[in-house]
Structure 1
Amino acid sequence: MPEFKTVNQSKIITGDSLDYLKKMPDNSVDLIVTSPPYNVGKEYETQTSLRVYLDKITPMIDEAIRVLKPTGNLAWEVGNYIHNKEVYPLDIYYYDIFKQRGLQLRNRIIWHFGHGLHAKTRFSGRYETILWFTKTDHYTFNLDPVRIQAKYPGKKSYHGKNKGKLSGNPKGKNPEDVWNIVQSDWEREIWDIVNVKSNHVEKTIHPAQFPIELVDRLVLALSNEGDTVLDPFGGVGSTLISAVKNNRIGISIDTVKEYTDVAKERLKALQNGTLKMRPMTKKIYKPKNDKISRVPKEWNGKGVY
């Protein structure tokens, strides 16, 4: 049975995130990983105008920044708001809010997924964005856990004092700022990670669930063992699960009791080794040459296939 050093310190709270954050002490959280509602009318939100939506969430952002340590990180994952068939990229609006409060953007990461809603009047959306902010220039960033295999490990310097010597790091190379997870490396700023749909092993009752492998990448790189990881829009607890499995202290808050009940069950399953999770290094499934993946005869050669 797996052992997790921080599980007894982790918390799953049913209630209002703003109320809970107001009771938390200043500078008490090392990492915030969250995905707020997108104002698209999901079952856990009431759709309003874009301005009202942003005004309502801004006080929670202020509290989140207050509880974040000066060395802490904040990963804010969002999609698009759609109104009258027009797309409003939420990360653009959120950037201004965080920038006005003194935070610094370190990366704008694209999370790409292969399945989603199909559009008829525009290209079908297949990505969301993660804004990684810090409060100061002194922040936690662990390179070694996210290093990737060098393409040319035997490459040598061709000039300067190290001419003729190996130029790489034996632990692997810096993933730079462009990540592609499906290649089993972090070379591109596009994270190709399966979203949680009906056939995903982690699927629960939540309609917009975080895949654990997405959170794992943020938790490993942006926090240390024993750190506190907060998700004020915790849903069914994917951020908390990632925090606990990587020996961090997780705090997950959600207003919907059905979601927090699922989060508690998932945590129990993690503890007893029965929680189904998609491994971080597993490549995305490619369909076999079967009836479903082949072009149907009924199309009679029509189209671009």
Structure 2
Amino acid sequence: MNVKNQCIGKSFALYNGDCVEVLKGIPDNSIHGMGFSPPFASLYTYSASDRDMGNARTNDEFMQNFKFAVSELYRTLMPGRILWCHCMDIPAMKERDGFIGLQDFPGELIKLFELAGFIYHSRVVIWKDPLTEATRTKALGLMHKQIVKDSSMCRQGLPDYLIVMRKPGDNPEPVAHKNGFESYIGEDKPAGKTVFSHEVWRRYASPVWMDIRQSRTLNREPAREEKDEKHICPLQLDVIDRALELWTNPGDTFLSPFAGVGSEVREAVAMGRNGIGIELKGSYYNQAVLNCKQAELECEQPSLFEVAP
């Protein structure tokens, strides 16, 4: 593997390098599950590296580069297992795109995954507060003053999406919840009016997740580098935890090819899985190492009930 640095723990491995090159060293059909947020084409700047896919000049250029990673992800994923991708529509800007509107980034990703051989399995809409988005982005279509001026330019806020793809074939190791769901991930825990597991399943199977805790993320500030970076936004841990519970077993090996500060890998470790993460940016990688080591340490600590006499 062509890597700058690596850290191997008891239940995780992190690599600081180009994901396409690192993926080439992973055996065929060896990964039980995958999940990540891809670089958002030219919308955000993550680093100054020429190898950073987010530094593409156009969306087409990004897709041409990203397809090499998708091909390797398909090769390494176990048959019948799940890859999920966290993404959103991309705002089109007058100065960059020639018009104000939206680009269907999730749809383009689905097409790219399908060309590599994946099956489109499902899609989850993750609700986000439009007022929070309006405050952060100052988007014309979300400004209240636009209703007074010309509401034909008003639009809805942008949700997040979880695009879920499946590799064809029979899953050799079924993900079986023999006792159903015994816990719940998210806010507003079901009251258990019927069977608790049924209530949890109903929430998880909903096409819209309204109960994701938006603020439950890893601390991003230690990995921030202002000189070359305009965006860093770790994925909500509720989303990761639900996906891990739904589509992997304890002891499975889970991969994140765009690990960032280690959110997916850390949660895999915390939930009894083995995690593999690949991250190009050095400051992100260093923070991911700290986060995953902390998760391992917490897993090794006995609970109050285990040490009580």
Aligned length: 243
Q: Which residue of 2 aligns with 1:145?
A: 181
Pick from 219, 232, 236 the counterpart of residue 211 of structure 1.
Answer: 236
Asked if 1:240 corresponds to 2:240, the answer is no
| Structure 2 portions without partners, runs of 5+ | 1-7, 48-53, 94-99, 142-153, 185-189, 225-231, 300-309
**Cα shift at 1:9:** 3.5
Pick from 104, 117, 121 the counterpart of residue 119 of structure 2.
Answer: 104
Distance in 2, Cα, partners of 1:129 & 1:146: 26
Asked if structure 2 preserves the Cα contact closer than 8 Å seen for 1:7 and 1:249, the reply is no
Asked if structure 2 preserves the Cα contact closer than 8 Å seen for 1:236 and 1:263, the reply is yes
Pick from 266, 277, 282 the counterpart of residue 252 of structure 1.
Answer: 277
Overall identity of the aligned pairs, in %: 19
**Cα shift at 1:265:** 1.2
SS in 2 for 1:172: helix
Asked if 1:10 corresponds to 2:25, the answer is no
Distance in 1, Cα, partners of 2:21 & 2:268: 23
Cα 1:7–1:219, aligned 2, differ >3 Å: closer, same or farther? farther
Which protein is bigger by CA-based radius of gyration? 1
Distance in 1, Cα, partners of 2:32 & 2:175: 11
Q: TM-score, normalised by structure 1?
A: 0.71
Cα 1:7–1:101, aligned 2, differ >3 Å: closer, same or farther? same
Q: Which residue of 2 aligns with 1:37?
A: 39
Question: CA deviation digits over 1:101-138, x for unaligned, max 9?
Answer: 33222210112222333411343634111111111263
For 2:119, the aligned partner's letter is Q
Pick from 64, 78, 82 the counterpart of residue 73 of structure 2.
Answer: 64
For 2:263, the aligned partner's letter is S
Q: Which residue of 1 aligns with 2:228?
A: none
Distance in 1, Cα, partners of 2:10 & 2:88: 33
Asked if structure 1 preserves the Cα contact closer than 8 Å seen for 2:20 and 2:69, the reply is yes
Distance in 2, Cα, partners of 1:7 & 1:15: 18
Q: How much is the aligned-residue C-alpha RMSD, in angstroms? A: 2.7
Distance in 1, Cα, partners of 2:44 & 2:220: 19
Distance in 1, Cα, partners of 2:74 & 2:58: 24
Asked if 1:78 corresponds to 2:87, the answer is yes
Q: Which residue of 2 aligns with 1:230?
A: 255
Question: CA deviation digits over 1:2-55, x for unaligned, max 9?
Answer: xxxx95131111000000001111001010001101120323331421111111
| Structure 1 portions without partners, runs of 5+ | 1-5, 154-168, 180-185, 275-305
For 2:181, the aligned partner's letter is P
Alignment of 1:267-286 (within 5 A): 267-273=292-298
Distance in 2, Cα, partners of 1:79 & 1:268: 30
Cα 1:46–1:138, aligned 2, differ >3 Å: closer, same or farther? same
Cα 1:123–1:194, aligned 2, differ >3 Å: closer, same or farther? farther
Question: CA deviation digits over 1:67-101, x for unaligned, max 9?
Answer: 00003210011112233332112111111122233
Question: CA deviation digits over 1:147-190, x for unaligned, max 9?
Answer: 8868763xxxxxxxxxxxxxxx67435735xx4xxxxxx36221
SS in 2 for 1:55: helix
Q: Which residue of 1 aligns with 2:302?
A: none
Asked if structure 2 preserves the Cα contact closer than 8 Å seen for 1:233 and 1:254, the reply is yes
Distance in 2, Cα, partners of 1:241 & 1:233: 13
Q: TM-score, normalised by structure 2?
A: 0.70
